[in-house]
Amino acid sequence: DSGVTQTPKHLITATGQRVTLRCSPRSGDLSVYWYQQSLDQGLQFLIQYYNGEERAKGNILERFSAQQFPDLHSELNLSSLELGDSALYFCASSVDSYQPQHFGDGTRLSIL
Amino acid sequence: LAKTTQPISMDSYEGQEVNITCSHNNIATNDYITWYQQFPSQGPRFIIQGYKTKVTNEVASLFIPADRKSSTLSLPRVSLSDTAVYYCLVGFNYGQNFVFGPGTRLSVLP
């Protein structure tokens, strides 16, 4: 158990809809990262937050947004969903950008 | 453009040492290299992290040459339960980007 909790584990929705994925980091970790894993693109970095502030941005679409709250949990919001957004979404946390990231078990998003 | 490459697959036998290499260009002086193991339907599990030379923990060793353009994960005496996909994760641009390699599918045979 990595100590990173992601909910829900599975999400099934339709094209055009909006969903929110939630992540609770390990106790003591200030940094949260979001990744997308798909068969064709592999594991792709989306965005990082550190203590509530956006720290780094990767291949995140404009339809996607994230935030980190004062209690350090984070949410990833995906809107105007398309079939191609079907993927596993992982959250990871670490003490800071130079310490190992520890991953949750992901949210599997299926778009019908 | 930050990019990492790994062999797509490797086969080994129980009890052998396995070495998996990841190549990475444009790594900054302060960026780290981290290796993960992933089983189906699970998140990547941390194995080891290094910055330069050699790092060893209870499960693996990580070798990073002086030019830091590659790194090699060494798994001593693999067992059947080590069958998994192994990923390198490289920080780029002083922690402004994080790039996973494509993953190496390791199959350990009896």
pLDDT of residue A33: 97
| pLDDT value, residue B91 | 85
Whether B54 shows a pLDDT value over 80: the answer reads: yes
pLDDT digits (tens, 9 = 90+) for A13-33: 999 999 999 999 999 999 999
Say whether A12 sits in a helix, a strand or coil. strand
Contacts of A100 in chain B (CB under 8 A): 34, 46, 49
In tens, the pLDDT along A76-93 reads 999 999 999 999 999 999
Mean pLDDT computed over every residue of chain A:
95
Residue B1's pLDDT band, with cuts at 50, 70 and 90, is low
Per the structure block, which two tokens stand in for B59?
Answer: 């499960």
Q: How far apart are CA A98 and CA A48, in angstroms?
A: 13
Cross-chain Cβ contact A45/B99 below 8 Å: yes
pLDDT by residue (tens digit) across B83-104? Answer: 999 999 998 767 778 999 999 9
Task: Count CA within 13 A, CB hemisphere, residue A62.
Answer: 0
Size of interface A-B (CB pairs under 8 A): 56
